[in-house]
């Protein structure tokens, strides 16, 4: 891996034509933990572009409106999304006798005809929500790239994790944390090693104080990247608001999207077309788990092409939300920030940008392990 990295010359993952030179030093440097020693890394450098979509929407197959075909056509043509996942409620994808209905198959057929690699990707997942503690839901989870349905009712989220762990290709997401009650935290984000590979996304939208919740889930040991899901229940897939999940891909194909979600190359944005990225100085993108370096220099950038939508500030945050570095961007269209961090067990750093209108963007973390 090391030789691959040394041979890698450029690491611009988003178009940097408008980026400003990094002529300001970060105002703060932080040493997050003790140095490490071994020599390995687990990142895949490369030139990638930002694609934006919505990974959470319902149709008339559960408590939303319309059909998956309508949803995909609307997301592509009206909302101009690059991808949409229809994620109807799992228990409603069963018929009255308790057998799987033909709705998932119907959705998958619609997705196959709506997908056009390079232009638009359609996928069908489902939303699990039957984990209960004292008859209250412990949290909802979206599942993507599933083959068939999970059991209709699994009353404990640990059963859900076990089913997810058995699904090699599946991607799991924590949905709208702490939205309906304070028990919607999967028992304080109880960590399950067996499901950790699949659970790679954390929805920053629709919940309560998701900025704080993000650090709770990360500090519990989960390796997740942020997502913005619109959770549509009307025919507004992609236009309910301006929020987007950004994903870094070389090509807009389903296998690449699955790989990128699994590798957490994501950001959550409250803005329609702004972007944020974080990478190491040798080109490892956000979501990477880096190992075997004493220190790692990270570079964050944020930009918005709209002249009226400026970047107010850009900051780096580590475990428990600790501020690592911050730059006031003086309402530039683009802003960059670098900081050097010391590695340590469980240490991670992520980037956050705040725009003049209050919109925020949050990048996936980079973990820097001994
Ligand atoms: Zn939900
Ligand atoms: Zn939902």
pLDDT tens, residue by residue, 31-50: 333 233 333 456 777 789 99
Q: Which ligand minimizes its atom distance to the CA of 230?
A: 2
Res 24: pLDDT: 31
Using the 3D structure, point to which of 232, 264, 296 is the last residue of a domain.
264
CATH number at residue 176: 3.20.20.140
Tell how far the Cα of 128 is from the centroid of ligand 1, in angstroms.
8
**Structural domain for 147, as ranges:** 49-264
Do residue 321 and residue 249 come from a single domain?
no
Q: Which ligand minimizes its atom distance to the CA of 85?
A: 2
Res 8: pLDDT: 26
Bridge partners of 132, per DSSP, are 137
Cα distance between the two ends of the chain: 16
Angstrom distance (rounded) from CA 177 to CA 31: 30
Tell how far the Cα of 87 is from the centroid of ligand 2, in angstroms.
7
In whole angstroms, how large is the CA radius of gyration of the chain? 20
Domain count, the chain: 2
Local confidence band at 144 (pLDDT 50, 70, 90 cut-offs): very high
Do residue 78 and residue 193 come from a single domain?
yes
Q: Which ligand minimizes its atom distance to the CA of 175?
A: 1
Tell how far the Cα of 176 is from the centroid of ligand 1, in angstroms.
7
Q: Is 105 helix (H, G, I), strand (E, B) or coil?
A: helix
Do residue 258 and residue 288 come from a single domain?
no
Report if residue 270 sits inside a domain.
no
What is the phi-psi region of residue 34: left when phi exceeds 0, alpha when psi lies from -120 to 50, beta otherwise? beta
Is pLDDT of 15 > 80?
no
Do residue 342 and residue 302 come from a single domain?
yes
Is pLDDT of 169 > 50?
yes
Do residue 141 and residue 129 come from a single domain?
yes
Report if residue 328 sits inside a domain.
yes
Do residue 165 and residue 70 come from a single domain?
yes
Tell how far the Cα of 175 is from the centroid of ligand 1, in angstroms.
6
Do residue 237 and residue 281 come from a single domain?
no
Tell how far the Cα of 140 is from the centroid of ligand 1, in angstroms.
5
Report if residue 368 sits inside a domain.
yes
Report if residue 64 sits inside a domain.
yes
Tell how far the Cα of 267 is from the centroid of ligand 2, in angstroms.
19
Report if residue 36 sits inside a domain.
yes
Report if residue 233 sits inside a domain.
yes
Tell how far the Cα of 361 is from the centroid of ligand 1, in angstroms.
22
Using the 3D structure, point to which of 227, 242, 264 is the last residue of a domain.
264
Do residue 290 and residue 201 come from a single domain?
no
Tell how far the Cα of 141 is from the centroid of ligand 1, in angstroms.
7
The proportion of the chain whose per-residue pLDDT surpasses 90, expressed as a percent, equals: 78
Is pLDDT of 25 > 70?
no
CATH number at residue 33: 2.60.40.1930
Report if residue 269 sits inside a domain.
no
Using the 3D structure, point to which of 264, 283, 310 is the last residue of a domain.
264
Tell how far the Cα of 13 is from the centroid of ligand 2, in angstroms.
31
Res 234: pLDDT: 98
Tell how far the Cα of 350 is from the centroid of ligand 2, in angstroms.
26
Do residue 196 and residue 167 come from a single domain?
yes
Report if residue 114 sits inside a domain.
yes
Q: Which ligand minimizes its atom distance to the CA of 232?
A: 2
**Long-range CB contacts (within 8 A, 24+) of 110-116:** 110/67, 110/68, 110/69, 110/72, 111/68, 111/72, 111/86, 113/69, 114/69, 114/72, 114/73, 114/76, 115/254
Q: Which H helix or E strand runs over 337?
A: strand 334-342
Do residue 69 and residue 175 come from a single domain?
yes
Is pLDDT of 28 > 80?
no
Tell how far the Cα of 73 is from the centroid of ligand 2, in angstroms.
20
Angstrom distance (rounded) from CA 112 to CA 248: 22
Do residue 289 and residue 227 come from a single domain?
no
Do residue 260 and residue 306 come from a single domain?
no
Provide the Cα torsion 17, 18, 22, 24; round to 10°: 170
Q: Which ligand minimizes its atom distance to the CA of 233?
A: 2
């Amino acid at each position: 891996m090391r030789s691959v990295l040394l041979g890698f010359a450029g690491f611009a993952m988003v178009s940097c034509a408008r980026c400003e030179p990094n002529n300001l030093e970060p105002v703060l440097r932080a040493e997050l933990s003790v140095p490490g020693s071994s020599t390995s890394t687990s990142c895949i450098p490369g030139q990638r572009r930002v694609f934006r979509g919505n990974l959470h929407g319902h149709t008339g197959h559960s408590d939303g409106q319309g059909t998956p075909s309508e949803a995909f056509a609307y997301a592509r043509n009206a909302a101009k999304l690059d991808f949409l996942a229809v994620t109807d409620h799992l228990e409603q994808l069963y018929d009255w006798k308790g057998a799987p209905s033909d709705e998932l198959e119907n959705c998958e057929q619609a997705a196959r005809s709506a997908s056009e690699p390079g232009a638009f990707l359609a996928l069908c997942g489902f939303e699990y929500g039957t984990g209960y503690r004292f008859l209250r839901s412990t949290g909802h989870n979206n599942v993507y790239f599933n083959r068939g349905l999970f059991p209709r009712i699994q009353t404990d989220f640990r059963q859900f994790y076990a089913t997810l762990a058995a699904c090699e290709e599946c991607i799991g997401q924590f949905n709208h944390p702490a939205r309906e009650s304070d028990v919607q935290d999967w028992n304080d984000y109880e960590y399950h090693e067996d499901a950790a590979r699949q659970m790679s996304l954390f929805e920053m939208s629709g919940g309560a104080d998701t900025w704080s919740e993000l650090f709770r889930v990360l500090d519990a040991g989960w390796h997740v990247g942020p997502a913005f899901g619109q959770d549509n229940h009307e025919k507004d897939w992609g236009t309910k608001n301006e929020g987007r999940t950004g994903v870094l891909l070389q090509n807009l194909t389903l296998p690449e999207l699955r790989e990128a979600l699994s590798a957490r190359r994501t950001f959550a944005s409250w803005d329609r077309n702004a972007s944020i990225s974080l990478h190491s100085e040798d080109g490892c993108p956000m979501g990477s788990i880096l190992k075997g370096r004493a220190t790692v220099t990270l570079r964050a950038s944020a930009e918005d092409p709209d002249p009226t939508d400026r970047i107010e500030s850009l900051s780096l945050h580590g475990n428990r939300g600790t501020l690592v570095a911050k730059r006031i961007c003086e309402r530039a269209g683009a802003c960059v920030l670098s900081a050097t961090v010391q590695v340590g067990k469980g240490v991670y750093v992520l980037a956050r940008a705040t725009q003049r209108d209050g919109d925020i963007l949050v990048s996936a973390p980079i973990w820097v392990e001994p």
